[in-house]
Every structure is written in C-alpha cells, then in structure tokens.
Amino acid sequence: ASLSTYDSVMWGCSFRLLGELAQARADIIKARRYYREALKAFRTAGDKLAMAEVAALLAALKPHMTDRG
C-alpha cells in the first residue's frame, strides 16, 4: 500500500529532524543520508516548500563534506 500524503510528510519531517541531529553531532555522512530520505518523502507528498528547505540544508553541508561524503 502506498503512503498517504500525511504519512509522507510525517516521514519527511522525521528524516529532516534526524538529519539536523546528525549535523549537530558533526556526522555529515548520516546527515546527508537523512536529508536525502527527507527529500524523497517530501517529493512523494508534493511538498515543494519542505523540499526547498531540505535542499538548502543539504547544500549547507557541502563545505563540510570530504571525498568520503
């Protein structure tokens, strides 16, 4: 069964929060992974504003990323 829009938004918010927590702990690899999952969920929900916000968070990680990230 597919997720409802509400479910997708809730998953997106959850992954975004996990990304923010990982970023606060300087775990850039996990932060990127969680932000990407958040983007997928928000895309499924059609939430363009949330997608833009998470894309900005991902872009802010770039200066901190290494070849491994």
Which pLDDT score, from 0 to 100, does residue 69 have?
Answer: 47
What's the predicted TM-score (pTM) here? 0.86
pLDDT at 2 exceeding the cut of 70: no
What per-residue string of b and e applies to 41-66 under the rule 16 or more CB within 10 Å gives b?
bbebbebeebbebbeebbeebeeeee
pLDDT at 62 exceeding the cut of 90: no
Q: Helices (DSSP H) in 1-69: which residue ranges?
A: 5-24, 28-45, 48-61
Which pLDDT score, from 0 to 100, does residue 23 have?
Answer: 96
- pLDDT band of 64, cuts 50, 70, 90: confident
CA–CA gap between residue 31 and residue 10 (Å, rounded): 18
pLDDT digit string, tens, across residues 5-35 = 899 999 999 999 999 999 999 999 999 999 9
